Amino acid sequence: MKCEVVNKIAEGRPNVLDIILNKQVNLIINTPWAKRDAIKDDKC
């Protein structure tokens, strides 16, 4: 499976929202940092 790391919304462009809106993605797997709060990460 081909994979690519993309920017989160708060990290600049192009970001995950751009990729979703352009229909360039089939699957998203969110892998939050171990020391970060996953709920906070979800709201960026």
Whether the Cβ atoms of residue 32 and residue 44 lie closer than 8 Å to each other: no
Whether the Cβ atoms of residue 16 and residue 7 lie closer than 8 Å to each other: yes
pLDDT digits (tens, 9 = 90+) for 1-44: 888 889 988 899 999 999 999 999 988 887 776 665 655 655 55
At residue 20, the pLDDT reads: 94
- Each domain of the chain, given as residue ranges in start order, spans 9-42
Rounded to the nearest integer, the mean pLDDT of the chain is 81
State the Cα–Cα distance between residues 33 and 29, nearest whole angstrom. Answer: 13
pLDDT digits (tens, 9 = 90+) for 34-43: 665 655 655 5
| pTM summary value | 0.60
Per-residue buried b or exposed e for 9-29, using 16+ beta carbons within 10 Å of the residue's own CB:
eeeeeeebeeeeeeeeeeeee
